A = this chain, B = another copy of it.
Amino acid sequence: MSEGTVQPYGERAFLVGLDGGATGTAALVGDLEGHILGWGTAGPANYHTVGREASSRAVGEAVRQALRSARVSPEQVRLLLVGVAGLDHPRQDGQAYQEILEATGLGIPFQVVGDVVIAWAGATLVLPGLGVIAGTGCSAYGMNRRGETWKAGGWDYLLADEGSAYWIGLEGLRAAMRAYDGRGEPTALLAAMVRHYRLADPLDMVQVAYSGHFHKAEVAAFAQEVTRSAGEGDPVARQIVVRAAEEVARMVVAVIRKLQMEEERFPLGLSGGVFRSGDLFLSRFMEVVRQVAPQAQIGPARYPPVVGALLYGLHLLGRLTPEVREAVAANTAGLLELLRWKGAAL
């Protein structure tokens, strides 16, 4: 601890939970009793999207801001629990985030887990149940009463992200091209594509797509056009949304079956923008899940991933007693509104 620093908490120990999302980063500082003491936000931290340097900068900024607001110094922090998308490439990403975290210069011991793990922790308070994310990417994760865990989907856009915003956007673009060249039914998605990407002609889409500047986020952005067209009744768009709901449900069902939770009552917490895309998606998703697990308690994740990061950090430190769990829950409510208002990565 540096000489002369004001340390209102004396020798107490703390931890930081961080959610490094695709659109922004949020960090929370808590103590080992479950009090939430400070928070910080920064830009996106997914290095696949923004590069390692920007990722390191975002993490450092969010953590330092959170520590400042909590009046805690890095030396007092026992653990930085980082949840990030794309950690499903264990070795490669593990190494990358090791370097990204070290480059922050924070000097805090850290642990990195996938974003669906902190989503699950926020949804269940690290108790039996499932979390599912359907944002740019898509995956499901859960734990049963025996402490066994399983993950399905989330192998990123090439191998398995069916039902994600990226997938919905790409299926929408493909349907537009099928309508254009005569392979598929006419659909409002063709006009939507021309409008969304400001094309002079549908064929110009080919140039946009292979320009080298057409990244995951640009594809995922078209998902909104697909759900809008679906909402306006376009049958082709509706079909894509329904298939997306079934694919996301399939991830959830795979986890439920692997963990043998079909007959149990458990929370299933939903995170990500795709779940807010309309009733068509949500109702089909729930229908498919309930066929397999009729007692699943489906709803928005109880707490956002950044709170899940804090909870999971406490769990790893062996401090997540029922009392601490209650303390986190009680402390989170007010903070939530504040974080939402700031547009943090919830």
Residues of A in contact with B (beta carbons under 8 Å apart): 48, 86, 88-92, 150-153, 155-156, 158-160, 162, 170, 173-174, 177-178, 181-183, 203-207, 209-211, 214, 219, 250-251, 253-255, 257-258
User: Top 4 A-B pairs ranked by shortest CB distance?
Assistant: A182-B254, A152-B181, A183-B254, A89-B206
Contact of A160 among B156, B162, B174, B255 (CB under 8 A): B174
Measured in the bound complex, the distance between the Cα atoms of B206 and A86 in whole Å is 10
Asked if A205 and B159 make an inter-chain contact with CB atoms under 8 angstroms apart, the answer reads yes
Question: Which secondary structure dominates where chain A touches chain B?
Answer: helix
Measured in the bound complex, the distance between the Cα atoms of B104 and A219 in whole Å is 36
Which residues of chain B come closer than 8 Å to A204, judged between CB atoms?
91
Q: List 6 A-B contacts (CB under 8 A).
A: A152-B181, A156-B206, A158-B170, A159-B173, A183-B253, A183-B254
Contact of A159 among B209, B254, B257 (CB under 8 A): B209
Given contacts A158-B219, A160-B181, 19 further A-B contacts (CB under 8 A): A86-B210, A89-B209, A151-B181, A152-B183, A155-B177, A155-B181, A155-B206, A156-B206, A156-B209, A156-B210, A158-B210, A159-B174, A160-B178, A160-B183, A181-B251, A181-B254, A182-B254, A183-B251, A183-B253
